[in-house]
Amino acid sequence: MLAAGVIWSGFIKDMLCLPRPLSPPLQRISHSGSAALEYGFPSTHSTNAISVVIYSVWALQTTSETRDPYTHLISQGLLYAYAISIVFGRLYCGMHGFLDVIIGSILGAIIAVIQIVYGHRFDMWVSQGGYEAPLIVTLAILILVRVHPEPADDCPCFDDSVSFAGVVIGAEVGM
């Protein structure tokens, strides 16, 4: 899911090339020297935070283990606090605008739902399908890398997407 979040949000960022919001009167809070070079729409942090939280809450609610109900409640509360801190933290630090985090969150929700609905079947197909399934996945990812839009400026989004694509290829072939 994290790889999908980075790849698809990076794809959209490099396709639209929308800059991060202007910060005045706020001072942008960032330790990254390349933050000004990156595009802002949609927020990859929001995408990944929301996808992880939705999937984790689903996994908590569908677990066959019987747990103390307070453990479930506390776990869900911590997950929601995590998502809120990431999404609102991006706004607070001046790294993204409202539309950036809203669309990033929607993208994360879509990725989580796809993982919940099709993830297990996909994993079973890759792990039990012989050599054809990993080959098809590898080719599909390489095609995605090839059709990834060329950013207008030197933006690390493309590098992040290609790196995560390589991780996914390695993970799928290694299954």
Q: pLDDT band at residue 66, thresholds of 50, 70 and 90?
A: low
Q: Which two tokens stand for residue 1?
A: 């899911």
Is 148 tagged catalytic? Answer: no
Q: Contact, 94 vs 36, CB < 8 A?
A: no
Is 45 tagged catalytic? Answer: yes
Give the pLDDT confidence of 116-137 residue by residue, as tens digits: 999 888 888 888 877 888 888 8
Other C-beta atoms within 10 Å of 95: how many?
22
- Whole-model pTM? 0.76
pLDDT of residue 88: 84
Give the pLDDT confidence of 49-64 residue by residue, as tens digits: 999 999 999 988 887 6
pLDDT of residue 114: 92
